[in-house]
A and B are shown apart, each in its own frame.
Chain A
Amino acid sequence: MPFISKIQRQSDYNRFPSSTPIVIDNGASYFRIGWAGENEPRVVFRNIVQRPRHKSTGETVTIVGDQDTALLKYFDCTRSGPRSAFDSNVVFQFEIMEYVLDFAFDRLGTNGSRIDHPILITECVCNPVQSRSKMAELLFETYGVPSIAFGVDAAFSYMYNQQHGICEKDGLAICPGFTTTHVIPFVDGEPVYKGCCRTNIGGYHVTDNLKQLLSLKYPYHMARFTWEKVEDLKMEHCYIASDYALEARLFQKGGKEAEDKTRCWQLPWVPPPTEEPPSEEEMARKAAIRERQGQRLREMAEAKRSSRINELENQLHGLEFLLHQLGQVKEEEIPSFLSDTGYVSKQEIESTLTKVSQSLRKAKGEPKAEQVENEEKADSSTSEKYPLINVPDNMLTPEQLKEKKRQVFLKTTTEGRQRAKQKRFEEELEREKKNQQDEERRLENPELYLEQMRTKYKELYEKVEQRKRLKTNGGHTNGNSLSGGVGRGERLNAAQRERMRLLTTAAFDRGKGEDTFGAKDEDWQLYKLMSKDNDNDDDGADEDEAELARVCSRLQEIDPTFVPKPESTSLQPTNAEAPSFCPLTKEDYQIVLGVERFRCPEILFHPNLVGIDQAGLDEMTGVSIRRLPSKDEGLEDRLTSSIFMTGGCSLFPGINERLEAGIRMLRPCGAPIKVVRALDPVLDAWRGASIYAANLQFPQQTFTRADYYDKGEDWLRRYQLRYTL
């Protein structure tokens, strides 16, 4: 049941004579203003002010209260957040207070040159005199108010309910408000401020706690958790558990009762459009098209191949013919004959011939065994090809030396290639053997083999993941105490940070003079250090990853139930979206409020949970009773038999029982304890004030402008309202 603001401009201002006071409940959450004697305040709005810039005109305007967000799009609200005149429960920003009062009086329908009515305005308990005097000054000077009275809202609420018989003349008023909680004892209808107790925790802290918890739990939906929305959630779903430990254990067990108490908020979610499985005809048609395309491709390949074969055959014929011709020509005329054709020697022709015939055979698709043969034949001619290698150096001319060098080089390269081929062949054999062994092992004991494979996969996976995590996150997931720079340190991984460190230390050692880095040899060792680190890392990683892939594929072959774990990317700290890339389901769009429902209001009873080291609600009553100056017999009992709850936060379900249980722990056994709640915890303060102001003796409790200036600040400090008229 969210609060609704009423900001309709009232039109009956002139109906009220000058003696009718205006009653203002100046609360940290809501501002309520109305006429004395009425039951409801006329104007109610949130006590905040925004000063955005208008987008088109550029002027800064003032907007009071929370307004329709649709209209706010015309304004640039980036620089101006909502501001409140309050710091805790004391007014300190009187410029904002003036805006608020302007707005309030304007909506009350004020016309005329000054506010010609006495004003009753609420303040906090024991308001500092500076705040009080500034408020009085504002009202007297700027608005021309004739007389003012200050009162405490909890007291008005108590009075109102006392008149309605909810609570007695002596009692304790507990007022959990927006930023603070007060416990005020009342004796004979008057508040005894000496026994008053205040803790700086209130509805604001509860809402803030809930907002932070939800944002941390659902970072993907952080934009949804605006202050207003979270307040709505709090008012609708939060409750106070009668025993926190029991409730928490209930949720920990996770039984049916926990399910019942969990509330789920479904955010709008549109499932991605599912493609219908293509129908039979579709599939057949697609298959036919594919078939046709394949056919076309095959035909083209075939045509190419045949043309190439033809070409090669022609070449072959030509070469054979040439050889034949060569055989017939005489020895002396070979060079001249050959220079026409473009070949230098007979050997060259022969080698080209073999090459061509090889490629022809390959094109036709004959086995490779012949190729090996040819290669051997080619090898045997190395000694012919490199005739100069074996000849010692001193016997050769310079040109021949050069020739020899070239031949040596060629020989070594070809030999190297052969060696590499040999090694590959051997490795191939090795692998075949290992596979065969594997197969045998598998066949003899399938179960064990499977287990071994699985464990090996898991280990490898862990190792790879670990390394990957280290690489991207460095140490910054949990080494927050170590990382020095908050900005740079987080982005570099461990290895990079190490390198930076080395460089900076080396640079700093130099001193402030000129930069002589690099003069000594040790400096350059740094670079070697850094690059070595890098290499080590990568090599190890590659091996493991290759192994992992092999094991993964093997497992996939033999184990039907095996599902390879997806490569999960490690959490990116700056990325607020979901880290995993699997498609978001409906469940991801549900906000579940389980433990938070009673965890957040618990801070009213245990402010330690949010780091505020003060007493909680139940303890505060004990403190308050202890602080009372004079106690006649039975006063304490009378106080506890009429414990009155007012204020917005007292609307949490279950607060009465919890408070009663808490106070029973403090009081002697058998003491009467009765906890009652105000008729309307939110509006009763204003109603009480309204009735008070309508009383005929009210004018005696006010002070005028003359009083204020004559009597001075000291008198203002001691000014207190008398609540029983």
Chain B
Amino acid sequence: MEAEVIKAELVLPTHMTFKRIQIYEKYPKGQSKVRWKQLKQILQAENYQNYPPDEPNYVNIESPPSMHPCKRICDITGFELVATQIDHFNFWNTMKSNILIIDAQAPYHDPRTNLRYANADVFKLVRSLPNEYVQRYLALRKAAVVLR
């Protein structure tokens, strides 16, 4: 071991005085590594259905899906996707209030690559991207094709 590595104490020493069972005793090298249960398996093994449902546990404090309309932004530039904005003032509405209607955001998406784009320049860029980049952009949104 090089001198400076020892001086910096980079490496964890294998024997600790304050431990009852040392780590090399617990996990001898020859043995295959212990398979730890992933979170999904832990949650499955918890059997939360046996307990009353209004007791808070790891699973039922999770947030529900969002109620707000999905926000769509261009995959490459990050601009919002808005086609046109038309303000209608409904004067003859019986509610006697001005209703501001903004035209529904028209999210343009390229049918070939499934990427979202904001305007024509970005579209040119989208069409010229090689497949690898297209999949990586989609992976940001978790919309990529995963071959497992």
Contact = CB atoms under 8 A, between A and B. Distances in A.
B77 A595 contact: yes
Contact of A595 (B34, B42, B79, B128): B79
User: Is the contact region of chain B dominated by helix, strand, or loop, or is it mixed?
Assistant: loop
B133 interface: yes
B39 A571 contact: no
A37 interface: no
A53 to B, nearest CB: 12
Interface in A82-122: 87-88, 90, 92-95, 98-99, 102-103, 105-106, 110-115
A476 B37 CA distance: 41
A481 B62 CA distance: 36
B113 interface: yes
Contact of B20 (A129, A143, A476, A480): A143
A144 B18 CA distance: 8
B87 interface: no
A94 B33 CA distance: 12
Interface in B2-59: 2, 4-5, 8-13, 16-21, 23, 26-27, 33-34, 36-39, 42-43, 45-46, 54, 56-58
A478 B132 CA distance: 10
B142 A610 contact: yes
B19 A142 contact: yes
B12 to A, nearest CB: 4
A130 interface: yes
A196 interface: yes
Q: Size band of the B side of the interface?
A: 35 or more
A127 B43 CA distance: 10
Contacts of B20: 113-114, 141-144
A110 B16 CA distance: 9
Nearest to A629: B54
A90 B71 contact: no
A61 B12 contact: yes
A623 B64 contact: yes
Contact of B73 (A61, A248, A486, A629): A248
Given A128-B46, A480-B131, A614-B64, A103 B58 contact: no
**Residue of B20, B58, B80 with highest tally of chain A CB at under 10 A:** B58
Given A88-B39, A127-B58, A608-B70, A620 B46 contact: no
B131 A111 contact: no
A216 B19 CA distance: 47
A330 interface: no
A131 to B, nearest CB: 6
A481 to B, nearest CB: 7
A223 to B, nearest CB: 16
A637 interface: no
B97 interface: no
Interface in A246-283: 248-249, 251-252
A3 interface: no
Contacts of B108: none
A92 B36 CA distance: 7
Given A112-B17, A607-B66, A609-B73, A194 B56 contact: yes
Nearest to A94: B36
Contacts of B131: 476-478, 480, 483, 490, 573
A697 interface: no
B61 A196 contact: yes
B15 to A, nearest CB: 10
A141 B130 contact: no
A113 B17 contact: yes
B17 A92 contact: no
B64 A610 contact: no
B46 A129 contact: yes
B105 to A, nearest CB: 9
A486 B147 CA distance: 10
A407 to B, nearest CB: 64
Nearest to B57: A126
Given A251-B79, A595-B78, A613-B65, A64 B134 contact: no
A67 B56 contact: no
Interface of B: 1-2, 4-5, 8-13, 16-21, 23, 26-27, 33-34, 36-39, 42-43, 45-46, 54, 56-58, 61-68, 70-71, 73, 77-80, 82, 112-113, 118, 127-137, 139-143, 145, 147
Given A113-B17, A609-B71, A610-B142, 13 more contacts: A57-B1, A64-B12, A90-B39, A102-B16, A106-B12, A130-B37, A194-B56, A199-B62, A248-B79, A480-B145, A606-B66, A610-B141, A614-B66
16 contacts: A61-B11, A63-B11, A87-B38, A95-B33, A110-B17, A128-B58, A194-B56, A196-B61, A198-B62, A198-B63, A244-B71, A479-B112, A595-B79, A608-B70, A610-B141, A611-B142
